[in-house]
Amino acid sequence: MKKVIALVAALTLSMGMFAGCGSSEPASSASSSAAASSEAVSSEAASSEASSSEAAAAVSGVVNTDGSTSMESVVKALAEAFMAENPDVTVNYSGTGSGTGIESATAGTCDIGLSSRALKEDETAAGAVSNVVALDGVAVIVNPANTVEDLTVEQIAQIFKGEITNWSQLGGADLEIAVYGREAGSGTRGAFEEIVGVEDACKLTNEYSSTGDVIGNVASNENAIGYASLSAVGDTVKAVKVGGIECSEATIKDGTYAIQRPFVMVTKDGAALSDAAQAFLDFAMSPDAAEIIAAAGAVSANA
Amino acid sequence: MEPQTKRRSTLKEMIELLMRVIFTVCGFIAIAFVLIITVYLIISGLPAIREIGLVDFLFGTRWASTDKTNPAYGILPFILTSIYGTAGAILIGVPIGFMAAVFLSKVAPPKVAAVIRPAVDLLAGIPSVVYGLVGMMVLVPWIKDTFDLKAGDSLLAAILVLAVMILPSIISVSETALKAVPKEYEEASLALGATPLETYFKVSVHAARSGIAASVVLGVGRAIGEAMAILMVAGNSPNMPGLFRSVKFLTTAIASEMSYSSVGSLQRNALYSIGLVLFLFIMFINVMLNLFLKKDKE
């Protein structure tokens, strides 16, 4: 009996946790089952709309986006705004990683792929079309207690290659540097290593598989240095200046901040998008979306 | 009168037959899943091993799956880390779990046991991500400060988390085995003048040894298959294992790279091969478990 009570208690607790997570963002459930059910709902809504002979211009349907986890906040913000204007459309987001996102866009398993890096040659050869929606700065982050404020790209490269191993070499406290990075294949890691010029040469102390993990661990470790999308960086960590230039939306947009990358919506060459997907893509590429993209922490490429 | 009973009996037979078919189908579904997964793992795991070479794959010490100029796919660091991590967890978890089982089954007053038992069950029900979270927030900073390291994410942190995670299975299986020891054995021992503690450790534990061994094997199985919790505390750099070093397990190697590897690439295929190696490990452990349980029955 006690076992049952304990189990029920644990279940209730965990249900509460899930409910808490879900309710904050009702619009952007990521699972495909949600997609299936919402498809049913929206087609129902569409048919009832047709019978009441409303405006024919409204689009309806489901738009499945799939890819980069770094683009989550931008895509979810765009999706929310788009769905507010087009209540019959459901935009789903699934965070699988840039590589998978491009792959599913060219394979046709999703409507729009999401990539947080420029497309590679073999990917465009396979039919992937790049639509740059926004620009994102990769911020180099340290613990707020760290006194180092400014690093050059070269110094950052030396830190990540293991040539500089103590903060005192950079004018900071006498602490060994713990170098945090992302796992192999991550879009943020790819962008950072390519721009800083440390491809395949990084000596990472720890590897984390999400942006949140990197930020959380830098926030709790005075020795640490890491990198993350500007859009994800909050008050818990400090973004250092790179070559004297602060990482901000303005410096990314005018191109002075060195470590930046594009956010790309990937479509397939020659394959027509559904009306809903095309409308969503047009919306994301329009100057109107700039404000939403800015609110989500990235910089619009089309405003 | 007679035809009616006959009809009823044929109906019963029909139901009987139908149920038997349903049960059989369900049984075969379970077997089918095992077979499908096995075949799938072998088919998808072998190509990369063939391309990399079995020796280079199993005994290579360098893993650099996305290196553009000189990729390497040696998983010896992962294998050793998984073995060391599991061994460490067993070394810490088994004595604690074993003592707890003796306490629960023999020494504890019924009321105390009634409180501890559900607590142990609850421990088994905690999602592994919660273990990882607590490890990340509490254990990792503690290790960093205590041992004056630049980062606390390490094999040690993973071992400590795993040791706690395997406790429930060790405690409950050992306890069941200890409880199944016939009362006569213990009574005889006590009647011969042995103290209660002597009786528990020399008679009861001896009689329940294969059940206890099974609990250890079960713990090994859980430890070697765990991914989420250690993903959050182990640091995940593909180093050769060291107690204070950031390490990657077989499970976390798959979990951390799978989402970003592109389909059909050697990186992804090598991850399947790691899955195959892990599968073989767990198969071996299951065979051991069955051997112990069979012995227990005899």
In a domain, A209, yes or no: yes
pLDDT band at A2 (very low <50, low <70, confident <90, very high): low
| Token pair in block for residue A247 | 């990482």
A235 plus A274 within the same structural domain: no
Q: Are A240 and A142 in contact (CB under 8 A)?
A: yes
Residue A109 at interface with chain B, using a CB cutoff of 8 Å: no
A225 plus A170 within the same structural domain: yes
Q: With 70 as the cut, is the pLDDT of residue A160 above it?
A: yes
In a domain, A31, yes or no: no
Q: Which residues contact B120 (CB under 8 A, 6 or more apart)?
A: B100, B104, B167, B168, B171, B172
Residue A187 at interface with chain B, using a CB cutoff of 8 Å: yes
Q: Does the beta-carbon distance from B260 to A185 stay under 8 Å?
A: yes
Residue A149 at interface with chain B, using a CB cutoff of 8 Å: no
- pLDDT tens, residue by residue, B259-283: 777 677 888 899 999 999 999 999 9
Q: Does the beta-carbon distance from A98 to B260 stay under 8 Å?
A: yes
A186 plus A82 within the same structural domain: no
> Which domain does A284 fall in, by range?
61-135+270-300
Instruction: Name which of A75, A73, A99 is nearest A189 in CA terms.
Output: A99
Q: A59 vs chain B: nearest CA distance in angstroms?
A: 32
Give ipTM to 2 decimals.
Answer: 0.74
pLDDT band at A44 (very low <50, low <70, confident <90, very high): very low
Q: A90 vs chain B: nearest CA distance in angstroms?
A: 24
Pick from A22-26, A167-171, B79-83: least confident: A22-26
In this predicted structure, what is the pLDDT of residue A40?
43
In this predicted structure, what is the pLDDT of residue A8?
55
Among A176, A187, A220, select the one facing B150 at the smallest CB separation.
A176
Taking the C-alpha atoms of residue B242 and residue B248, their distance in angstroms, rounded to an integer, is 11
Q: How many helices (H) and strands (E) does chain B have?
A: 14, 2
In a domain, A29, yes or no: no
Q: Are strands A206-208 and A299-300 parallel, antiparallel or unpaired?
A: unpaired
A153 plus A242 within the same structural domain: yes
Among A183, A204, A221, select the one facing B257 at the smallest CB separation.
A183
A146 plus A170 within the same structural domain: yes
Among B119, B141, B267, select the one facing A185 at the smallest CB separation.
B267
Taking the C-alpha atoms of residue B275 and residue B285, their distance in angstroms, rounded to an integer, is 15
| Token pair in block for residue A124 | 């465009």
A117 plus A203 within the same structural domain: no
Cα A288–chain centre separation? 20
Percent of chain B whose predicted confidence (pLDDT) is above 90: 65
Neighbours of B27 (CB within 10 A): 10
Q: Does the beta-carbon distance from A7 to B125 stay under 8 Å?
A: yes
Q: Does the beta-carbon distance from B257 to A6 stay under 8 Å?
A: no
pLDDT band at A31 (very low <50, low <70, confident <90, very high): very low
In a domain, A81, yes or no: yes
Q: Please compute the mean of the pLDDT values over residues B157-174 and round it to a whole number.
A: 94
Q: Please compute the mean of the pLDDT values over residues B40-61 and round it to a whole number.
A: 92
Most B-contacting residue of A3, A103, A176, A209 (CB-CB within 10 A), to test interface = A209
Taking the C-alpha atoms of residue B233 and residue B229, their distance in angstroms, rounded to an integer, is 7
Taking the C-alpha atoms of residue A276 and residue A282, their distance in angstroms, rounded to an integer, is 10
Contacts of B237 in chain A (CB under 8 A): 204-207
In a domain, A12, yes or no: no
Alpha carbon separation from A279 to A63, A118, A135, A167, B265 (Å, rounded): 10, 23, 21, 50, 33
A200 plus A256 within the same structural domain: yes
Among B119, B126, B153, select the one facing A206 at the smallest CB separation.
B153
A72 plus A102 within the same structural domain: yes
Residues in B whose CB is inside 8 Å of some CB of A read 64-70, 114, 117-119, 121-122, 125-127, 136-137, 140-141, 144, 150-153, 231-232, 235-237, 246, 248, 255-257, 259-263, 267
In this predicted structure, what is the pLDDT of residue A12?
52
| Token pair in block for residue B266 | 């050697």
Q: What is the CATH number of the domain that holds A170?
A: 3.40.190.10
- Chains A & B: contacts with CB separation below 8 Å: 106
In a domain, A55, yes or no: no
Q: Please compute the mean of the pLDDT values over residues A219-227 and round it to a whole number.
A: 91
pLDDT band at A290 (very low <50, low <70, confident <90, very high): confident
Q: Does the beta-carbon distance from A185 to B65 stay under 8 Å?
A: yes
In this predicted structure, what is the pLDDT of residue A5?
56
Q: Are A188 and A229 in contact (CB under 8 A)?
A: yes
Question: Alpha helices of A86-164 — where are they, by DSSP H?
Answer: 98-107, 121-125, 153-161
In a domain, A105, yes or no: yes
Q: Does the beta-carbon distance from A184 to B70 stay under 8 Å?
A: no
pLDDT band at B298 (very low <50, low <70, confident <90, very high): low
A256 plus A285 within the same structural domain: no
A222 plus A160 within the same structural domain: yes
Question: Alpha helices of chain A — where are they, by DSSP H?
Answer: 2-24, 32-51, 72-85, 98-107, 121-125, 153-161, 187-196, 211-219, 249-253, 275-285, 290-295
pTM of the predicted protein model: 0.71
A234 plus A172 within the same structural domain: yes
Q: Please, what's the b/e burial string for A216-252 (b: 16 or more CB within 10 A of its CB; e: otherwise)?
A: bbbbbbbbbbbbbbbbbbeeebbbbbbeebbbebebb
Q: B253 vs chain A: nearest CA distance in angstroms?
A: 10
In this predicted structure, what is the pLDDT of residue A142?
94
- pLDDT tens, residue by residue, B71-102: 889 999 999 999 999 999 999 999 999 999 99
In a domain, A35, yes or no: no
Beta pairing partners, A138: A229
Q: With 60 as the cut, is the pLDDT of residue A174 above it?
A: yes
Among B118, B248, B261, select the one facing A3 at the smallest CB separation.
B118
Among A98, A185, A221, select the one facing B144 at the smallest CB separation.
A221
Beta pairing partners, A112: A65
Among A96, A183, A221, select the one facing B151 at the smallest CB separation.
A221
- pLDDT tens, residue by residue, B98-153: 999 999 998 889 999 999 999 999 998 999 999 998 998 899 999 999 998 888 89
Most A-contacting residue of B262, B268, B274 (CB-CB within 10 A), to test interface = B262
Q: Please compute the mean of the pLDDT values over residues B249-258 and round it to a whole number.
A: 90
In this predicted structure, what is the pLDDT of residue B3?
58
Among B122, B256, B262, select the one facing A99 at the smallest CB separation.
B262
Q: Please compute the mean of the pLDDT values over residues A117-124 and round it to a whole number.
A: 86
Q: Does the beta-carbon distance from B236 to A183 stay under 8 Å?
A: yes
Pick from A5-9, A163-167, A217-221, A238-242: least confident: A5-9
Q: B123 vs chain A: nearest CA distance in angstroms?
A: 10
| Token pair in block for residue A173 | 């406290």
- Tally the domains of chain A: 2
pLDDT band at A55 (very low <50, low <70, confident <90, very high): very low
Helix/strand/coil for A25: coil
Task: Using alpha carbons only, give the angle B73, B74, B80 rounded to the nearest 5 degrees.
Answer: 145
Helix, strand, coil percentages in chain A from 3-state DSSP, rounded to 5: 45, 20, 35
Q: How many residues in total does chain B contain?
A: 298
A66 plus A77 within the same structural domain: yes
Q: With 80 as the cut, is the pLDDT of residue A18 above it?
A: no
| Radius of gyration (C-alpha) of chain B in whole angstroms | 25
Instruction: Name which of A176, A147, A139 is nearest A159 in CA terms.
Output: A176
